[in-house]
Amino acid sequence: MNTLPVLSSASVTALIVLFYLFTAIRVGILRGKHGIRAPLCTGHPQFDRAYRVQLNTLEQMGIVLPLLWLTTLYPVLGGWPGPAIAVIWVIGRPLYSAAYMADPDKRIAAAGIGGLCNVALLITALIGIGAAWLHTLL
């Protein structure tokens, strides 16, 4: 088994978690800046947007991470498509964040990057899993 794609997937996973931590820290800072005490989740537009970026990132992590690791466990084309697609997903998250923080209506294009990456990862994972089943059955 080629360990470089596994190391690549692990590295991308770390980047995804680092970006999520960035969003969580930003929410905490804005909570303090705008005096929004827990358990409140709204109160100032800047905080509200940052909070939604954090939650959306968490929601998307629940899709991208399992798919990334499925493409790693059941690789196609040497195992590179999964980590490569996930890197594009990571690049799209700061774009999404910047767009959403500026104007939530402008997030759609950046959100599309994540959506397309999720679909590409799903297709790649299904191909790898299907190939593994064929190999097992034949």
| DSSP secondary structure string for all residues of 19-71 | HHHHHHHHHHHHHHHTT--TT---SSHHHHHHHHHHHHHHHHHHHHHHHHHHH
Q: Tell whether 70 is covered by a domain.
A: yes
Contact 2, 61 (CB under 8 A): no
- pTM score, two decimals? 0.93
Position 82 in a domain: yes
Number of domains in the chain: 1
| 71 touches 82 (CB < 8 A) | yes
In CATH, what number is assigned to the domain containing residue 39?
1.20.120.550
Residue 138 domain-assigned?
no
Host domain of residue 110 = 3-133
pLDDT tens column, 13-62: 999 999 999 999 999 999 999 999 999 999 999 999 999 999 999 999 99
